[in-house]
């Protein structure tokens, strides 16, 4: 195939947690994801508006970590094509057969030069919602609002690494992410980049790690439909003893945010809404510098908090 | 006691339903009230922000009806004083001893000249929420948002009668309700009145019955904290197969509304928010006439619907 | 160029109005668009979040009509490529030179087989907002909220024609629109189709004309960021004597809507928010039939209204 | 008159500002109040939902200060009765004749033992809104939403003093305010009290001054109808270069807040919504202690900020 392979979207995140039961409680009862399947001790979950088999896999493990971040391609052949490109770069590929990950077809897993483990796949099951929780509208999946925050879908991931300039360049050149907004340091190098294969501001953000380490994870974000739902999430979480950071509005992305720490694994989770679509084909990345970051990072609402500097693995 | 007795607030409504199980399901799972107690087959419920024992009592019965509407007085002695006033009018009083209605002290019940059965009481238990559903904020009661619409409190009732001009006059002179807005017919008589003992626009509305009958009931309203919660209620109900009328905004009261029919009993229920407080001591009732009602009743949103003309008992 | 040309987005709509002054008042003071330029009597406007020169052109004329609907391509060469494809179909092309339409480069205009006049272009000016109305965030354009409804951007158009089955087929095969949701009649033919070149549910909807005529226009929609902004638009419009239909929620698209009639031209305008993104590469169009349309068209809120059946030209 | 006089509501606040033009710009263009009248250099303003002549008076002066806070009584005779009570306490009274303050009848002004200058009045003009800005609904005053934040009405004031225990006691015993929530120090004395003559949580809060001084002012709050309007206020202010603290939710009062500094005078202003009504006649003040204040003051959202410690006069 001569056509360049393309990613379609962020598909799922696979987390390892030292307290699986508490993590499942958080994602099911506080966030309100639906459990799709348990296999080999792993719990597969998705949000009420998601057709694909899972957007979250939880696995038990000694230490919290991100097993992998899964990207779905635009075409079936793209999986093999990406594999070829990665191998040509000397990156070690792990090939998964259909069903190795529940609900999913053939896939390749690998570690990016920035140290993050990604998975690329196309084939995925699209199970219907069980009849007793099925949405009434035929263009939806599950009834919304049965439990907790009740986000519609996964939105983006945010990862940290030693050299985000190189890391974002690799994401652009190898996986086809376009940079929509970025922070540049005084040295003219990228300190953080918001990148997407979709018309959103970002499917992934990559930034400098506070400890200068590669392969770290900052947060995964789930989407709610409007600002009122972000405020409701704040009330729900606080009332249930889940501490939060926010809500507020980011300058970069213009989105409403609320962060919390998933209590089983310690991974950071964002509840996210708003932002803007980039439909212009000639979008020029918006570049933020130095003092502009006071507006760029936290435009209003919660502005500081030591908890925001933690990344996993710890 | 020489001081005129006063009502403090709408306390509760006591409904009879031919399908108690379905009514309890609606109020608990769809609306999200908390069950406080069952006694003698009656189910006592309240909303997450209510301190008093119950704002809703459900009783099984052959036909749907409103057993009574309960008003709490400002002072303990007001119960007896209201009883004296009513007896002096020749109205038959039924005195209840403490505990005859669960959680409640001595009370008097009677039927108003417009045909509605009311109850007047002061003493009432204020049970804490169970520990596992208790709010984290000490000025609140239950955690909010555990199920369904999750209103904060009961708001008002709307009743129908043969002669709302006489009916509203009696509510004003005998029970002390102030008229905040009203509809006047071409004959100069009150066709509907929004009346309150609190600074809200209404704790009760009384209007002409479509069939010209006394003692009928149009709806009971529960309060949610903002318009976003009314929209969320619409989505939740529709997704669960509960048909609705609205949402929209009333002109009179300026409030957001959404109506539905409680599926066990057929009684109409409103989810209500917004409106305005009347703190001015010299408020003059706002009078709506004829063609102004197009704006007054349904300012925007759902405007017509045969379902809105039904009252109970049928 | 062997690559198939592609549209990137809906760019603008060009309306003819018999009362230019009233139309400008509506779009500027009620909706809150910003005036970018006047040239040859035409008024060019855009929303606060739009970078391109205009999303609306208003021209004076004897009768209300849509002069054209402008689509921007993904690449500069796509304009010529689309021209070639259209000419090969025997469609008459009108070529515009840069500046023939203010702020815009070379473009081709033509009438589709369904009778709608479209324009295809790539080059477009991106003027900054004037300093005194410029947004504080560098990823935005104008300050938001200075006047009226204050939408962020144009969202979609809805057109009517004699044969929407053929019309939607042509939009798919010639212009590359993908069908996301559709209504099918008893005869198995498309009665309405929601189609997009972006990941939204629709950039254009095409439906059967109530009078069976080709080339008719139902509405243009502008996007606001959330449901609260749709409700605010309802209050703003009603308070200013602008009659509305809605707000409510569509089943198809799951979006919040509010419709009004632009008072200068009589064209219908929608204020729109919510809906969902389609990021799955293998999306199967959702097909609605017969009785499902009660939920599909107006899920809740305003449900009926003769005004919704009007199309232009009258 | 033997009946105890009663206050009905917070009527207005009268501010002195060193930069009258900038203060008028802020209140008119950013907040969106309507100018009612200018007299003797003073500017009288009110919000779109207010019937009385003004809720804000701005006067030019060398230094920022609060000239007085005006309370309206329930009955005409209450003004004289309060004057008698205050004189009996040895408090010096300044009597104003009708028109001494524009739009207002006979009033008494005095300084409370806590050092705050109050005014008590009953008679007040209720001018209609000018025809071109008049609300369409006859139960409203001005069209809403013409400019800026567009609050409905004044909500409360917050004042600081040396001894809030004594200060709140005096407000209760002399002016009839009921305490709804309070903070108690380790010494068992009131450190802050939220007090009301209406069923809201507070018309006034009184707290310990950071510098231990009497007669200081913390903020005046204006009410918007829901949380979405608070978020919109944050966006509007930030976009116009007005720095804010918040939005967030208070634990005490459960209300959404946003604070800013009025740029002409330096006085703090709050945009406020939500909270709860207290209709129970036997409400027991909610008492917050020590570590509970982390939830009580700022439940979520913005949590810290040096700007929140400033009071006026400086």
- State the smallest CA–CA distance between residue A232 and chain D in angstroms: 10
Q: Given pLDDT bands bounded at 50, 70 and 90, which one contains residue B1? A: very low
Res D305: pLDDT: 58
Q: What is the mean pLDDT of chain B?
A: 95
Of the residues D225, D228, D231, D298, the best mutation for testing chain A's interface (the one with the most A CB atoms within 10 Å of its CB) is D231
Question: Tokens for C166?
Answer: 């053929």
- For C226, which residue in chain D has the nearest alpha carbon? D228
pLDDT digits (tens, 9 = 90+) for C126-156: 999 999 999 999 999 999 998 999 999 999 9
For residue B241, what is the DSSP state?
A: T
Indicate if the pLDDT at residue B312 is higher than 80: no
Indicate if the pLDDT at residue A1 is higher than 50: no
- Distance CA(B231)–CA(D250), nearest Å, equals 24
Q: How many helices (H) and strands (E) does chain B have?
A: 5, 18
- Distance CA(D88)–CA(C83), nearest Å, equals 92
Q: Which chains touch D (3 or more CB pairs under 8 A)?
A: A, B, C
- Distance CA(B98)–CA(A119), nearest Å, equals 68
- For B137, which residue in chain A has the nearest alpha carbon? A239
| Strands B42-46 and B34-39, bridge-based pairing | antiparallel
Mean pLDDT, each 10-residue run in order, chain D (314 residues): 86 98 98 98 98 98 97 98 98 97 98 98 98 97 94 98 98 98 96 98 96 96 98 97 95 97 96 98 96 92 66 68
Cis-peptide, bond into residue A247, ω within 30° of zero: yes
Res A309: pLDDT: 61
| Strands D244-249 and D65-73, bridge-based pairing | unpaired
Res A313: pLDDT: 73
Res D313: pLDDT: 73
Which of B143-157, B242-256, C296-310 is least confident? C296-310
- State the smallest CA–CA distance between residue A10 and chain C in angstroms: 9
Of the residues A239, A241, A273, the best mutation for testing chain B's interface (the one with the most B CB atoms within 10 Å of its CB) is A239
Of the residues D259, D300, D306, the best mutation for testing chain A's interface (the one with the most A CB atoms within 10 Å of its CB) is D300
**Half-sphere exposure for B309 (CA within 13 Å, toward CB):** 7
CB contact under 8 A, B72 and D281: yes
pLDDT digits (tens, 9 = 90+) for A169-180: 999 999 999 999
Res A184: pLDDT: 97
Size (chain C), residues = 314
- Distance CA(C87)–CA(B64), nearest Å, equals 70
Contacts of C209 (CB under 8 A, 6+ apart): C160, C161, C162, C216, C311
Tokens 């009928």 — which residue?
B216
Contact list, A145 vs chain B (CB under 8 Å): 148, 232, 235-236, 239
Residues of B with CB under 8 A from a CB of D: 8-9, 49, 51-52, 72-75, 122, 136-140, 152, 181, 198-200, 225-228, 251-254, 273-274, 276-277, 279-281, 286, 288, 292, 295, 299
- State the smallest CA–CA distance between residue C48 and chain D in angstroms: 12
Res A94: pLDDT: 98
Residues of D with CB under 8 A from a CB of B: 8-9, 49, 51-52, 72-75, 122, 136-140, 152, 181, 198-200, 225-228, 251-254, 273-274, 276-277, 279-281, 286, 288, 292, 295, 299
CB contact under 8 A, A301 and D227: no
Residues of B with CB under 8 A from a CB of C: 227-228, 231, 234-235, 238, 244, 246-249, 256, 295, 299-305
Find the mean pLDDT for residues B259-267: 96
* Secondary structure E strands in chain C: 7-17, 34-39, 42-46, 56-60, 65-73, 94-96, 107-111, 117-121, 153-161, 178-184, 190-196, 204-208, 216-223, 244-249, 255-261, 268-274, 286-289, 300-301
- Distance CA(C261)–CA(C305), nearest Å, equals 13
Identify which of B247, B295, B304 has the shortest CB distance to residue C301. Answer: B247
Q: Which chains touch B (3 or more CB pairs under 8 A)?
A: A, C, D
- State the smallest CA–CA distance between residue B272 and chain C in angstroms: 15
Q: How many helices (H) and strands (E) does chain A have?
A: 5, 18
- For C135, which residue in chain D has the nearest alpha carbon? D239
- State the smallest CA–CA distance between residue A135 and chain B in angstroms: 6
Virtual torsion, Cα C172, C178, C182, C185, nearest 10 deg: 30
- State the smallest CA–CA distance between residue B63 and chain D in angstroms: 33
**Residue D300 CA: distances (Å) to CA of A30, A55, A244, B289, B309:** 17, 28, 7, 46, 44
Neighbours of B64 (CB within 10 A): 20
CB contact under 8 A, B281 and D136: no
Q: Tell me the β-bridge partners of A143.
A: none
pLDDT digits (tens, 9 = 90+) for B39-95: 999 999 999 999 999 999 999 999 999 999 999 999 999 999 999 999 999 999 999
Res C1: pLDDT: 43
Identify which of B9, B75, B273 has the shortest CB distance to residue D279. Answer: B9
pLDDT digits (tens, 9 = 90+) for A59-114: 999 999 999 999 999 999 999 999 999 999 999 999 999 999 999 999 999 999 99
- Distance CA(C219)–CA(D246), nearest Å, equals 39
Q: What pTM was computed for the model?
A: 0.97
Percent of chain A at pLDDT exceeding 70: 96
- State the smallest CA–CA distance between residue D226 and chain A in angstroms: 10
Q: By the 8 A CB rule, do B55 and B43 touch?
A: no
C-alpha closest to that of C42 among C98, C95, C103: C103
Q: Which chains touch A (3 or more CB pairs under 8 A)?
A: B, C, D
Indicate if the pLDDT at residue B304 is higher than 80: no
Q: By the 8 A CB rule, do B232 and C294 touch?
A: no
Q: By the 8 A CB rule, do B255 and B155 touch?
A: no
Find the mean pLDDT for residues B5-11: 98
CB contact under 8 A, A9 and C280: yes
pLDDT digits (tens, 9 = 90+) for C82-109: 999 999 999 999 999 999 999 999 999 9
Neighbours of D305 (CB within 10 A): 15
- Distance CA(B86)–CA(B68), nearest Å, equals 16
Q: By the 8 A CB rule, do D58 and D20 touch?
A: yes
- Distance CA(D98)–CA(D123), nearest Å, equals 8
Contact list, C226 vs chain D (CB under 8 Å): 228
Res A312: pLDDT: 72
CB contact under 8 A, D246 and A300: yes
- Distance CA(D183)–CA(D207), nearest Å, equals 9
Contact list, C304 vs chain B (CB under 8 Å): 304
Q: What is the mean pLDDT of chain C?
A: 95
CB contact under 8 A, A8 and C279: yes
Stated as kind and residue range, the H or E segment containing B102 is none
In what order do the strands lie in the sheet containing B117-121?
Answer: B34-39, B42-46, B56-60, B7-17, B65-73, B117-121, B107-111, B94-96
Residues of D with CB under 8 A from a CB of A: 227-228, 231, 234-235, 238, 244, 246-249, 256, 295, 299-304
- For B236, which residue in chain A has the nearest alpha carbon? A145
* H helix intervals, C71-132: 78-88
- Distance CA(D99)–CA(A270), nearest Å, equals 57
In what order do the strands lie in the sheet containing C65-73?
Answer: C34-39, C42-46, C56-60, C7-17, C65-73, C117-121, C107-111, C94-96
Cis-peptide, bond into residue B313, ω within 30° of zero: yes
Contact list, A2 vs chain C (CB under 8 Å): none
Contact list, B75 vs chain D (CB under 8 Å): 281
Find the mean pLDDT for residues C183-211: 97
* Collapsed DSSP state (helix, strand, coil) of residue B299: coil
| DSSP code string of A160-201 | EES-HHHHHHHHHHHH-PEEEEEEE-TTSSEEEEEEESSSSS
- Distance CA(B60)–CA(B17), nearest Å, equals 5
């Amino acid at each position: 195939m001569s056509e360049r392979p393309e990613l379609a979207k962020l598909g799922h995140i696979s987390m390892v947690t030292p307290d699986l039961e508490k993590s499942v409680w958080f994602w099911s009862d506080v966030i309100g994801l639906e459990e799709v399947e348990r296999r080999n001790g792993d719990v597969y979950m998705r949000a009420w508006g998601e057709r694909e088999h899972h957007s979250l896999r939880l696995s038990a493990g000694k230490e919290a970590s991100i097993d992998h971040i899964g990207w779905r391609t635009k075409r079936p052949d793209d999986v093999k094509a990406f594999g070829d490109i990665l191998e040509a770069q000397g990156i070690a590929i792990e090939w998964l057969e259909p069903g190795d990950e529940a609900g999913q077809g053939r896939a390749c897993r690998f570690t990016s030069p920035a140290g993050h483990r990604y998975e690329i796949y196309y084939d995925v099951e699209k199970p219907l919602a069980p009849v007793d929780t099925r949405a009434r509208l035929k263009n939806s999946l599950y009834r919304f609002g049965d439990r907790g925050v009740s986000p519609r879908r996964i939105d983006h991931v945010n990862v940290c690494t030693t050299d985000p300039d190189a890391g974002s360049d690799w994401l652009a050149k190898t996986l086809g992410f376009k940079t929509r907004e970025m922070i540049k340091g005084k040295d003219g190098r990228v300190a953080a980049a918001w990148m997407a294969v979709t018309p959103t501001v970002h499917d992934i953000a990559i930034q400098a790690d506070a400890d200068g380490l590669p392969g770290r994870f900052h947060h995964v974000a789930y989407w709610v439909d409007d600002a009122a739902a972000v405020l409701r999430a704040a009330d729900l979480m606080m009332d249930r003893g889940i501490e939060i950071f926010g809500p507020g509005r980011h300058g970069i992305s213009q989105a409403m945010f609320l962060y919390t720490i998933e209590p089983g694994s310690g991974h950071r989770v964002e509840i996210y809404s708003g932002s803007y679509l980039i439909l212009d084909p000639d979008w020029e990345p918006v570049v933020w510098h130095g003092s502009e970051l006071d507006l760029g990072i936290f435009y209003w609402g919660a502005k500081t908090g030591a908890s925001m500097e933690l990344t996993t693995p710890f």
